[in-house]
Amino acid sequence: MLERKQCKDRTEVTFVLPANTPPGPVSVVGDFNDWQPGAHTLAPRRDGMRAVTVALHEKSVHSFRYLAAGDYWFNDESADDHDGTNSRLRT
């Protein structure tokens, strides 16, 4: 799930997943962090979910995927679009 917050000159996008689905550590990997695993690892929230927030330029389009333990890559079904391989979001 994606949560968005408009700020003055950027959009803060929060990537949210259930606490244990999939199990183990999960990071969001995309063109905004040079596809670097571990750069944005989701952390537990009080509501039983886990999340990480990334500040992105407004009016931009980004490709991303999630990377879980065991080299398990997956997309976000709530993304704005999919390009065949990646999830895509528009700010």
CATH number at 81 reads: 2.60.40.10
Q: Across-strand partners of 53?
A: 14
Q: How many CA atoms are closer than 13 Å to the CA of 53, on its beta-carbon side?
A: 10
Q: Residue 8: what residue type? A: K
pLDDT for 8 equals 87
Distance CA 41, CA 8 (A): 25
Q: What is the pTM of this model?
A: 0.93
pLDDT per residue rounded down to tens, the chain (91 residues): 999 999 988 999 999 999 989 999 999 999 999 999 999 999 999 999 999 999 999 899 999 999 999 999 999 999 999 998 999 999 9
Number of domain units in the chain: 1
Host domain of residue 42: 2-90
Distance CA 16, CA 62 (A): 17
